[in-house]
A and B are shown apart, each in its own frame.
Chain A
Amino acid sequence: MSEFAAELRTLIDDLVSAEGGTAGDVDPLRLWERLRELGLHRVGLPEERGGSGGSLDDLVVVVEALASRGVGVPIVETSVADWVVGHAQPLDDRLTTVVLLDTSTAPTDRGPGLPVVPWGRHAQRLVLCAPGRPAQAVDMAGAVVEPGENLAGEPRDVVTLTGATPAELAGAPSYDAVRQRLGLLWSAAVVGAAQGAYRLTKAYVAERRQFGAPLLEIPAVASGVAQMRVGLAQAETALALAREAVAAEGETPADVNVSESAVATARIMTAAAATDIARLAHQLHGAMGVTHEYPLHHCTRRLWAWRDSVAAERQWAEELGRQAAAAGEHGVWTRLTATAY
């Protein structure tokens, strides 16, 4: 666990509050500027490469804390893109985003464009990662951007590269390592958004009165609150497992395999919790929760968008299941019990 966790959480809470408090009032780009001024966008990257220092664990705390307030800023994408670039060259001020490609074919100007580029319209540089190929970076100047949005209304644009040719990033982490770091950070984001949805719901059912008493007095409502709580506990535990597994190995790409299953586990468990928590949060909020004015949707739409971001829950589950089947019961058990956690 990050030794700065409490401090970082307070810092982010104060920042979000200063920018308007509830997610609906916060301008994500303004908040992003504030985060950049403070260097929070590059926590977990070494100072000698232009980062802000601190550990990956500290970054996890930052991502989770921002998400728990229901705000979406490009922290996951840019911190991973910067991490990749930082292996090859010192970081500059350009906003860099990252895209995982399914195939090993490089995008060309004749191609159909890259779908789902996170924050593409704001990005000045793009990192491209494909299985079995070195990562590449390309300047976005001259790129054609067709705006799109994910379920939470965050930019997910179609980008067609017309100008610069992508250049290899020497010494960059492997595709699997990038995917794993994204997996860990998206898990943290989902946990944060789930905490936010839970906090709002708990407060709502304690305040809102029907039949002469708070909703929480209705046993089925109390049961729903408890189910949200245990789902959240499960997601938080899965995230803790993954953080520890990744931290125990250091961050070198060569060590990826050992913590692979811990990250897959975190993605599966946080996604499953996202599904239950979003459903229950809306059910317990009644019609109030479906209005644009009430802040619940800032959390629940992010839960829906982020649970299947980069790779779907189902995909992680099939991968983990395939590994388990190949390892056999003995292998599964040995792996599970290899550590205390």
Chain B
Amino acid sequence: MDHAHPPTPPGTASRRSGPQENWLELRTQVRRLTADWRDAGRYRPRSDAWLRSFDLDFSKELAARGLVAMTYPEEFGGGGRSHVERLAVTEELLRAGAPVAAHWIGDRQIGPAVLRHGTRELQEEILPQISSATAVFCLGMSEPEAGSDLAAVRTTGRRVRDGWRITGHKIWTSHAHRATHAYVLARTEHAARKHQGLTEFIVDMQADGVSVTPIVDLTGEHHFNEVRFDDAFVPAHRVLGRAGAGWKQVVEQLSFERGGAERVLSSYPVLVDLIAATAEAQAHELQGLLGSLTARLAVLRRMCWDVARSLDAGEAPVQQAATLKYLGNTFEHDVIDALRSTDLCRDAARDSVFGQALLASPGFGLRGGAAEVLLSVIAKQEARA
């Protein structure tokens, strides 16, 4: 796969000391910071925090400590570190249930996409803003008529003088109401094959013609939105990569979107309770459940690590990431279900550890690719193998 701008070689990360020491140092740093914020009452740990807990101040604090944009080159305000080191940090943040939603999407997939496919001009504009957590990104992928079938997007990009005009309707756009920028996948030509003629854009949420309406989810929380683009202008340099080649790029982006620890640890606060309950009850049934879950977690962590290593090697491990996400989401559900073998589920409050996780759980196997679609992706790949 050719990349306009290959990612930082993995070797650069270990210039200070051995990788093992780096990980521990990074982990310790995150543990201290989250403990300070938690003890000061500045956040309350919760399940699904990476999607639902939005706190720009916390994201900026992480950015100031070099814990955002860790894998980006230093010239763009990044840390010049490896994806494996970034994984150590994201794992600790998820474990702590910290409020990381503000920078998560930009940091995770938009920055890397801009690094891989963006022009120098676009990199210089966007990457420092992600690195400092001043840019907040939302993902304009899904549409009312293009859910799992992403290539069916109807949003169009029309070439005009100095740029493009975008018209269309995106949905399930988390944090669009707080975002400064949107990543938008749009059709820019009507090709014979629907996977051709798609283009990726970076759109200002403040641009004329962009409007946001909320969708409240079943928990009563608001993170979803609908976003409408009515002839919104996008300057020419905000095209990400090559016009018309968006499909290949977005598929590659999915390995960043699907291959992280947030596909495994969304319900981690429930596991914390399960460990404590098992210690208290000392029942064989609980011990067996906890043992199996611990074993699965060890394996899933390793899969995250394998994906991170592939990313460090400049690959796009789409299949591996799909496998990880499918198995990770199943684990997240099973952790919640296991707590039903304790008393902690009885008449549980909606804002209890169990309640928050369970009410968030229907989204686990949908966002970033529905479980059924992931299985179909895997089956197709296997049929070819």
Contact = CB atoms under 8 A, between A and B. Distances in A.
Interface of A: 202, 206, 216, 219, 222-223, 225-227, 229-230, 233-234, 237-238, 240-241, 261-262, 264-265, 268-269, 272, 314, 316-326, 328-329, 332-333, 336-337, 340-341
Contacts of B376: 219, 222-223, 226
A229 B375 CA distance: 9
B51 interface: no
Given A325-B287, A332-B275, 9 more contacts: A238-B295, A265-B299, A321-B278, A321-B289, A322-B287, A324-B294, A329-B271, A336-B298, A340-B84
Contact of A318 (B20, B287, B302, B378): B287
Nearest to A341: B302
Contacts of B327: 230, 233-234
A329 B323 CA distance: 26
27 contacts: A222-B375, A222-B379, A226-B374, A226-B375, A227-B375, A229-B323, A230-B378, A233-B327, A234-B299, A237-B303, A238-B298, A268-B295, A318-B284, A318-B291, A320-B294, A321-B289, A324-B275, A324-B294, A325-B275, A325-B278, A325-B286, A326-B279, A336-B298, A337-B27, A337-B301, A341-B302, A341-B305
A329 B375 contact: no
Contacts of B374: 226
A94 B188 CA distance: 75
A74 to B, nearest CB: 28
Contact of B382 (A202, A261, A264, A325): A202
Nearest to A315: B288
A321 B276 contact: no
B383 A216 contact: yes
A6 B126 CA distance: 46
Nearest to A331: B275
Interface of B: 19-20, 23, 27, 84, 88, 91, 95, 271-272, 275-276, 278-279, 282, 284, 286-292, 294-299, 301-303, 305-306, 323, 326-327, 372, 374-376, 378-380, 382-383
B301 A336 contact: yes
A329 B275 contact: yes
Contacts, number: 136
B258 to A, nearest CB: 13
Q: Which 6 A-B pairs have the closest CB atoms?
A: A321-B291, A321-B287, A317-B291, A320-B291, A321-B290, A222-B379
Contact of B291 (A216, A233, A262, A264): A264
B27 A230 contact: no
Contacts of A323: 291
Nearest to B271: A329
Contact of A264 (B84, B284, B295): B295
A28 B286 CA distance: 41
A194 B327 CA distance: 18
Contact of A325 (B279, B305, B372): B279
A202 B381 CA distance: 12
B77 to A, nearest CB: 26
A341 B309 CA distance: 11
B292 A272 contact: yes
A319 B291 contact: yes
Contact of B287 (A206, A225, A261, A317): A317
Contacts of B272: 329
A167 B294 CA distance: 40
A223 B287 CA distance: 31
Contact of B288 (A222, A223, A317, A329): A317
A336 B290 CA distance: 14
Given A317-B287, A317-B288, A329 B294 contact: no
Contacts of A264: 291, 295
Contacts of A341: 301-302, 305
B167 to A, nearest CB: 34
A11 B62 CA distance: 53
B270 to A, nearest CB: 11
Contact of A269 (B20, B299, B372, B378): B299
